[in-house]
Structure 1
């Protein structure tokens, strides 16, 4: 059967598989096929989009069809369409967490409402607007003394600017550009209401190219992190795939989205643009770090980036490499170390910077690159015995904490993984069991070292306590009390230097200036030990 719904300005009578034109001076039959139909499919009965019976064709519209909204529709699934028409007196509501992509024209003569549900209870959220709309008219404006709605001002000194600040040198309309949700901009919000807060925007959704002018002003920052942080936001009613973005204006490939519901306590999710399907949801704000040379350059969101998939927060580095966790009580935080052969040991574009939780009770764990940059995701080209990675911790209060290996990678640590507590002079095989320690409040950038390629040696051997590694321009030697002389050889076996060792368990010497592989030979009264050292 064929159901007949007459669209405005059209006069067509349907009979069987043909449509008969009865208007004007002519008369004739038009054969109907799916390929030649230009009327498309019409939503005609109030209700959910996903119910076939609500559509004129009694099937859901295809991705290349023209779609008409001629009733009140609730989009309850992810949808891709060609042209979309919302007719006067009718509405389309895009439910929270759902995604709409229009590859053609979107014509709105009715009402489009885009919904987002967020957690109240004073939780911080980074959000964006999928349509240009007045913030107050859509009830996103904060109640003074209860809620917060901030724009980020990158320029020195770096400032969060509240929506309620309307005058002075830094005011919200001036920093934001208007009182509206601006396409491509992100915002930081918090609402005191308990439970879930339902928010919405009623306006025509953004589509096509949307531009954001990046800032990197340099200078001293009031914020704890480097200059060049820009708060962007997904400008569309659909998800975007950060993998498909042009990231050449940024210092790394990551988008940083704050997640108040992150396991272990609120914190940043690192959305990895080097991986496919790096989805960022509608209504999601996120930080990017602009290059020093990117000040006033334009980053463009495009329809080609749009995609369905993901959630509001999704850590795209999960499943790769080593994952270490620092925990105490119900709070914990993690850091990742992964193998990427195209990366470097110093900080590069495949590394994600460490950004701390807004919750001061959550401990923080990070690794340090070879040039001392704190990282949430540390991409390295490989591992070598004698070349440990430093781990830093931020301890919120004095107490007992543990570092555990949540995810192992035999490629990185085929012979096991050891953690060194430099304060307590303890080595522990963390690949077997967690390591517990006590600490006072504070940020300790290099108390711990993660060692690769160590093997279990006889306990009565001096070499079982021996460790040699590079730290900056020095070679650190641990466990040398039973050795009296040191010789340094290059990779071809040429003796480069020879020196006496002090009768001490720990000592250091200058590392060779040229990067490469060297061999240190330690000589004692009853034994000798040789170890390869990689100098960067």
Structure 2
């Protein structure tokens, strides 16, 4: 090897929880000032390509062989070939072509592979690999007929996968069993774990320094390097020696698939933040020291921000001269933290009011891997709750990246919702709202507000527990996410039969979410619904579903019957004009009826024809302002209103008569069937103003209102 292997003593490793006081790490240390060239190859030209993985699966056409470039150079694959061997016989040959970057994996397989499209295909592989089942099977890699790497022996890997160990980055013409491990689970065909190559980069921008390398490469940072892309940037491991720095710009992202090795102190690895957001880092292996910045919009002690520490052993001194509190569930209140030496527990949420410095810095070892959240409690054992009651626990995102709430594993006693405190500012005015997301459950997609789906790095949030419970996070919940439409590597599901009902006014809005699920119920479902937490922001219009026991910000209900009604409550701290938008109705079955009844004006609107409803709000209005009706409401749209605004219609079996006729006290009611036979008559319409059930059979009727100077008839279908 052109570079020697150094033994590096790291006493900081003690903080990783290992039992040894000192651990010897064998790593390949790059030589400074030159490109690392720490490999040995059997290739005549010195190139170092290895067979990195072989997977046999059923159907056999999905089996493949992976090669990996452990070199520091881009390699031309002309004159390279890969041969599969089954039971000692050569059964398929792939002639390789093109180039392969350092740290890049490529695959060889069948052109009929159903799982992915291999880089190199051979139609004979489908028939030639029937016996390639991990018993006396393997592959060999050649350059100009010279054997470069040998992955064939009688070792049994019939469990499914034979994988090259991560510390092996050198081709070997003799199969060595200790270099390989067998697995029964599949791996990502586009990547491979290997400590090589380690490449010097810097100084400069990541986007310009790494164009010739793939995500499997490791980097030794030289000078000052900035990660400036959000795709994200990706590598195997990072090495930072003394007097060198690596920083991640705001809204840029870096994935480290193995380890962060920082030998230069906290300031040498920095995740930046500003008013647009913070940078994002995911470390799937062992973490190390660094600095993460957090931006605060308010530094005038006006607004609270919920936070959580992304590093171990952070102290309350970070927020000295600010107001810092945590939520104590047993007493259902916030408790102030005044000493400067209080540990900020990893996974606990806190709330802070800032009086200075819009940028705060956390310094220490970044949290990574499994993180156990402080125990959740419900002291009073209350199963239904809104703001200020037992069962709410303030926890936090402990990572340097966002987390996907859908991927968090929750015990049955913890509700599926997350509540996130979100600030919005318009024209110099600020409101806060509790945004909610209900996590996916079995095969059911999560739903709610996208602002709560992905929780920002270092952000605190509330969950509701029905009893004492423990939860933990791990790296599988992490992702790079900056805005609703800028999620990295995460597909956005399209939800059918889900609706957002948005209340807007005063330049602000909040929403209630509704969906149909056959396994749900109209009452509260802990795994499928979300409590509504009201805010005191006077300019924020708030819409929610009112149940007998509680109020909901999101509700999953079964497909409703004709006479089912969903009560929609509205409140705001400011009187005035508002509107409701019903978003997503087109995603429901076209035969499903949706009508909105205004319980003050009595107006009923067919939401299939009009999805925006405008109304005026006064403090004296009843809380249950609207009802969402699911049955057929007939008579409202078959004829234009006359000059008196008369409406005759039915809903859920009740017949309604609304009119501004000046002498309506003189109006008589006559109802006939389509044969002209009278089925009902009355000398007044008073009983019909709020709906009257006449117990009529399901049919179509002619409903007439009559006075000496006025007459109107409407055809009304009664269905209940």
1:245-291 deviation digits (Å, cap 9, x = unpaired): 12234453221111112899431222331137943221121111112
TM-score normalised by length of structure 2 = 0.55
Q: 2:577 aligns with which of 387, 400, 411?
A: 400
Q: Specify the SS of the correspondent of 2:314.
A: coil
Q: 1:472 maps to which residue?
A: none
Q: 2:306 aligns with which of 103, 126, 148?
A: 126
1:282-328 deviation digits (Å, cap 9, x = unpaired): 1121111112xx22x21112233233335499999996622222233
Cα pair 1:50 1:60 within 8 Å, conserved: no
Query: Is residue 374 of structure 1 aligned with residue 551 of structure 2?
Result: yes
Q: 1:72 maps to which residue?
A: 245
**Structure 1 residues 66, 399: CA separation in 2 closer, same or farther (over 3 Å shift)?**
closer
1:113-136 deviation digits (Å, cap 9, x = unpaired): 011223116343222111124344
Q: 2:337 aligns with which of 154, 158, 163?
A: 163
**Structure 1 residues 152, 520: CA separation in 2 closer, same or farther (over 3 Å shift)?**
farther
Larger CA Rg, structure 1 vs 2: 2
Query: Is residue 283 of structure 1 aligned with residue 454 of structure 2?
Result: no
1:69-119 deviation digits (Å, cap 9, x = unpaired): 12211034231321221114572112333332222223x3xx410112231
The one of the two structures with greater contact order (alpha-carbon pairs below 8 A, sep at least 6) is 1
Q: 1:117 maps to which residue?
A: 295
Q: 1:151 aligns with which of 312, 326, 331?
A: 326
Q: 1:426 aligns with which of 603, 617, 631?
A: 603
CA distance in 1 between counterparts of 2:715 and 2:495 reads 42
Q: Which runs of 5+ in 1 are unaligned?
A: 21-29, 167-172, 470-475, 486-500, 512-517
CA distance in 2 between counterparts of 1:340 and 1:56 reads 47
Q: 1:104 aligns with which of 282, 285, 293?
A: 285
**Structure 1 residues 319, 356: CA separation in 2 closer, same or farther (over 3 Å shift)?**
farther
CA distance in 2 between counterparts of 1:12 and 1:459 reads 83
CA distance in 2 between counterparts of 1:182 and 1:223 reads 26
After alignment, is 247-256 or 179-188 more displaced? 247-256
**Structure 1 residues 91, 224: CA separation in 2 closer, same or farther (over 3 Å shift)?**
same
1:397-456 deviation digits (Å, cap 9, x = unpaired): 333333333443351665664321222222234542633333322684322112234355
Cα pair 1:394 1:442 within 8 Å, conserved: no
Q: 1:267 maps to which residue?
A: 433
Q: 1:447 maps to which residue?
A: 625
Aligned-residue RMSD, C-alpha: 4.6
Cα pair 1:49 1:73 within 8 Å, conserved: no
TM-score normalised by length of structure 1 = 0.72
Q: Specify the SS of the correspondent of 2:476.
A: helix
1:361-384 deviation digits (Å, cap 9, x = unpaired): 212111235x56322122222234
Cα pair 1:69 1:87 within 8 Å, conserved: yes
Cα pair 1:395 1:442 within 8 Å, conserved: no
**Structure 1 residues 12, 141: CA separation in 2 closer, same or farther (over 3 Å shift)?**
closer
Query: Is residue 36 of structure 1 aligned with residue 175 of structure 2?
Result: no
Query: Is residue 362 of structure 1 aligned with residue 533 of structure 2?
Result: no
**Structure 1 residues 202, 82: CA separation in 2 closer, same or farther (over 3 Å shift)?**
same
Q: Specify the SS of the correspondent of 1:355.
A: coil
Query: Is residue 504 of structure 1 aligned with residue 687 of structure 2?
Result: yes
Query: Is residue 353 of structure 1 aligned with residue 531 of structure 2?
Result: yes
Q: 1:339 aligns with which of 499, 516, 520?
A: 516
Q: 2:507 maps to which residue?
A: 330
Cα pair 1:49 1:75 within 8 Å, conserved: no
Q: 1:205: Cα distance to partner?
A: 0.8
1:323-360 deviation digits (Å, cap 9, x = unpaired): 22223332332222222233222111211111223422
Cα pair 1:41 1:65 within 8 Å, conserved: no
Q: How many pairs align?
A: 469
After alignment, is 89-98 or 50-59 more displaced? 50-59
Q: 2:650 maps to which residue?
A: 466
After alignment, is 418-427 or 60-69 more displaced? 60-69
Q: Specify the SS of the correspondent of 1:155.
A: helix
Cα pair 1:12 1:19 within 8 Å, conserved: no
CA distance in 2 between counterparts of 1:359 and 1:102 reads 38
Cα pair 1:150 1:161 within 8 Å, conserved: yes
Q: 1:66: Cα distance to partner?
A: 3.4
CA distance in 1 between counterparts of 2:330 and 2:521 reads 30
Query: Is residue 52 of structure 1 aligned with residue 52 of structure 2?
Result: no
Q: 1:93 maps to which residue?
A: 270
Q: 1:187: Cα distance to partner?
A: 1.5
CA distance in 2 between counterparts of 1:467 and 1:57 reads 64
